[in-house]
Chain A
Amino acid sequence: MADAKDSTSATDTTVKRRVALKVLATTLGAGAFAKAIAPIQQFTASTNAQEWLQKHYRELSSRELREVLARLEAETKQKYGREVTIEDVRPQAGVQFAYALNLSVCIGCRRCVEACHQENNHDRASHNSYIRVLEMEQGSMDMERGRADYDHPVRDEGKFYLPVQCQQCENPPCTKVCPVEATWKEPDGIVVVDYNWCIGCRYCEAACPYHARRFNWRKPEVPAHEINPKQSYLSNRIRPQGVVEKCTFCLHKTRKGELPACLEACPTGARVFGNVLDPNSSIRWVLENKRVYVLKEELGTRPRFFYFFDK
């Protein structure tokens, strides 16, 4: 190791002693380093080689995709103790989804928030959900005067309620910024995340103007009996630690003709969802007959989530 010739006038023994000391110090340092980063083993144990080598969702062949889904099902069984099915539900041709919400009838009960929490297998401890409801001052559209942490019986005098979730922007700033294309817009308008490709930089979370994205700050915990076993790869399967997730308009349901969980849970019928390309759909009727508006229109994100008032 030592380039002893370099130090010409040093005596042999001094050099030898120095070499020995340096070897000792290096060994000690390396040992201490190994000890310091030992907790990494816990992390590596939670993942595996197949997962690490897995390709981007859109590059998987159908055979590879089947293997991935089977592996994920087995992992859920092993880690969460529950038999689940994870499908890959593809967008349908001729379908463009949109959502509308009637602010005149929403009472701010947050049933949609709860339904999302259950449907999408959110972490129980943090009570995560893709929907946030703002309690707003009657007569003002200023979000600065709204509160998301209201905690009293609803609906309150002089207030109205503004539920906000992913707006499935037509021009989404979140997908633009992703350095690895882990998030993109699907042909039916839904913005999705490949949880197995995301590197967890949270740039998209900073870019989203609607606070629609969530990060898995720790491994999500859901008791086995509370897990929703009907899952899909791009939506409600239990997410890994350290990646970003978001509302997918419940694509595992809606792409099969069902309605999103938040709509089904709404007791007032404030929510309207459907395919805007279908001339007979109720969403089409709302968009054609109500004076709808979108949040932060000035940003040019062109949301697919509309709001309207009845009276």
Chain B
Amino acid sequence: MSRDNKTAHHLTYPRFLLSAFWRASEGSWVFYTWMTALTAIALVGAHAWALQLANGMAVTAMTDHVSWGLYIANFTFLVGLAAGGVMMVVPAYLYDDHDMHDVVIIGELLAVAALVMALLFVVVDLGRPDRFWHMLPGIGRFHWPISMLSWDVIVLNGYLLLNLHVCGYLIYTRYLGKKPDPRWYRPFVFLSIAWAFSIHTVTAFLYAGLGGRPFWNSALLAPRFLASAFVTGPAFIVLVLQIVRRTTRFTVPEGAIQRLLSILRVTVLVNLFMVASEIFTIFYSGGAHAAAGRYLFLGLHGHAELVPWIWTAISFNVLAAIVIHTPALYRDRRVLNAALILTFVGVWIEKGMGLIVPGFVPSTLHEIVPYAPSKAEWQVCAGVWAFGLMIFTVIMKVGLQAMTGEMRAPSAESDAHTINNDDHAEEAR
């Protein structure tokens, strides 16, 4: 590709963006319904957030006792989802799995969408989002390297940029009908593998570094975060791959799905093993440090608000583990998909109501103040998720059409790989 005539990027790039916008907003009625529904939910969330800003965070159910809730729970989960995408990148690039190589961009696009959501969840959790500039290095007072949160800001934004670069580069070169130059993306891909581990490790250190919160102050937290990330990532991607297969012209090799499932078979068990270790430590040694664990799993002093949550999560994960290890069950795609959804939801609960909230109950003065998210919090969360799914849908649409050659620059039309990109042959959805 570096061979001949220079491409005039200042002309082709804007054209590429326009084309991407145009294609992102083209689709069947299913697509329009899906996007309209997401827009509506996102608007409800935006409204709830605006009210929270105007009336104060008292509209949430958080208190000085439970000072982080659903928002930070979702943030933690989504960082895991973003990191989980790397489970496609590792086989594709480190083990040269060709099937995976064909679809690896989906993992990278998922990371982009998940990170946007994770960052939004931090923003909606701020009491003064108007002062965000205080965090900008140079003009604000960025407390790096002491504050773990400053590290998290760096690794999350860095990971977002890395993935944006890799995806953007691949999509743009495909659009131009050229072969991507490995020098422009391979180093970044390898960097992003290490970086994926760092985002979830640093996020775990955010909590594990707090000596005053014994429930979090555990060396197991970071490994546990990674294990659960590598459950949600592959589970979500296998579901997405099946949707892609049905609704686009993009070919999804069965090998990729099988590889992800075999990764999942291991990670689901590792995750459950770590939960079991946690339970053993809490109940065998007991004592005040185990109070939060007792509150979570069995209830404490007549309070048992989290007990249904955590046992739901554990049963979901156990069920899913059984299904994906039993050929008679997982051969039926519907059963398999149900199991994937179960484990996705299971980890979501485990990381949120099962991990963030019990860090605060009992409080540091051993008071038990229960927490259940308010309506406003649910609305904001739904809004952020809807917005994130909109982004994911749109970038997937554009990305995959560039990959298949449906979206091509006019200058690339002579390219042999170009597939018919007739607008009316309504492929997408």
CB-based contact A43/B212 at 8 Å: no
Q: Does B243 reach chain A (CB closer than 8 Å)?
A: no
CB-based contact A215/B67 at 8 Å: yes
Known: A37-B46, A299-B211. A142 touches B359 (CB 8 A): no
Q: Does B134 reach chain A (CB closer than 8 Å)?
A: yes
Q: Does A187 reach chain B (CB closer than 8 Å)?
A: no
List residues 265-282 of chain A with CB under 8 A from any CB of chain B.
none
CB-based contact B128/A200 at 8 Å: yes
Q: Does A122 reach chain B (CB closer than 8 Å)?
A: no
Q: Does B18 reach chain A (CB closer than 8 Å)?
A: yes
Q: How far is the CB of B277 from chain A (nearest CB, A)?
A: 23
Contacts of B213 in A (CB 8 A): 206, 209
Q: Does B291 reach chain A (CB closer than 8 Å)?
A: yes
CB-based contact B67/A206 at 8 Å: yes
CB-based contact B147/A211 at 8 Å: no
Can you name the residue of chain A whose Cβ is closest to the Cβ of B151?
Answer: A179
CB-based contact A242/B149 at 8 Å: no
Known: A22-B25, A198-B128. A40 touches B50 (CB 8 A): yes
Pick from B50, B67, B127: contact of A242, CB under 8 Å: B127
CB-based contact B149/A38 at 8 Å: no
Can you name the residue of chain B whose Cβ is closest to the Cβ of A299?
Answer: B211
A155-194: contact bitstring with B at CB < 8 Å (1 yes, 0 no)? 0000000001000000001001111111000000000000
Contacts of A56 in B (CB 8 A): 134, 141
A11-44: contact bitstring with B at CB < 8 Å (1 yes, 0 no)? 0000000100010010001001100111111111
Contacts of B210 in A (CB 8 A): 173, 177, 206-207
CB-based contact A36/B55 at 8 Å: no
Contacts of A203 in B (CB 8 A): 147, 149, 206
CB-based contact B56/A144 at 8 Å: no
Pick from B15, B56, B135: contact of A179, CB under 8 Å: B135
Can you name the residue of chain B whose Cβ is closest to the Cβ of A26?
Answer: B25
* Chain-B contact segment, one of A70-78, A98-106, A216-224, A251-259: A216-224
Q: Does B47 reach chain A (CB closer than 8 Å)?
A: yes
Q: How far is the CB of A19 from chain B (nearest CB, A)?
A: 9
Known: A9-B424, A39-B50. A242 touches B363 (CB 8 A): no
Contacts of A208 in B (CB 8 A): 212, 364
A176 to B144, CA, bound (A): 10
Q: How far is the CB of A124 from chain B (nearest CB, A)?
A: 14
Write the residues of chain B forming the contact surface with A, with a CB cutoff of 8 angstroms. 15, 18-19, 21-23, 25-26, 39, 43-44, 46-47, 49-51, 53-58, 60, 62-65, 67-68, 122, 125-132, 134-135, 140-143, 146-150, 153, 206-207, 209-213, 288, 291, 359-360, 362-367, 407, 410, 421-424
- Residue contacts A-B, CB under 8 angstroms, 5 given: A3-B18, A3-B19, A43-B50, A177-B210, A243-B127
Which 5 A-B residue pairs are closest in the complex by CB-CB distance? A200-B127, A209-B212, A242-B127, A218-B56, A7-B423
